Amino acid sequence: MPKIFLSAYVNAPAQRCFDLSRSIELHMLSTSKTNEIAIAGKTSGLISRGETVTWEATHFFIRQQLTVVIEEMESPTYFTDRMVKGAFKSFHHQHFFEESGGATLMTEMFTYESPFGIIGKIFDKLILKKYMTRFLVDRFNMVKHFAETEEWRKVV
């Protein structure tokens, strides 16, 4: 199973980083390149444990939907979401926030499995892992930017 690991220090409190990472509005801003919108479940505000959101976006010229559930959550240090319906065979996305000295170490681990057996594995090695890494880095960097500026007030 491919894994994508992201980590950076953010000059902001853990609670702010935690909340921004759960913000439906910030998610839509950070994924504007794929025209991602929340269409069902929790469609605005901060998503919480047990809640689902269905995203609709265009990836690889195909309009698709993906539903995730927030499985675990311990504010402001951790939450995890898991795909319950969508194009992947499976995915699990962990978010960690560790505050120290006025800054927060923000870490994400995204583990996924491509569908379509060997064809999916080849597609993953050639295209998908790089695509997903770029997608997640863009989102991660926007959370960092919003947390470190007054922009956070617009979406939390």
CATH code for the domain in which residue 127 is found = 3.30.530.20
How many structural domains compose the chain?
Answer: 1
Cα gap 145→2, rounded to integer Å? 27
pTM of the model: 0.94
Q: Tokens for 95?
A: 């978010």
109/4 Cα distance (integer angstroms): 6
Of the candidates 56, 22, 3, 44, the one whose C-alpha atom is nearest the C-alpha of residue 147 is 22
Name which of 62, 120, 63, 119 is nearest 91 in CA terms.
120
Give me the tens of pLDDT residue by residue for the chain, a chain 156 residues long.
Answer: 899 999 999 999 999 999 999 999 999 999 999 999 999 999 999 999 999 999 999 998 999 999 999 999 999 999 999 999 999 999 999 999 999 988 999 999 999 999 988 998 999 999 999 999 999 999 999 999 999 999 999 999
Range of the structural domain that residue 83 is part of? 3-154
Report which residue type is found at 155. Answer: V
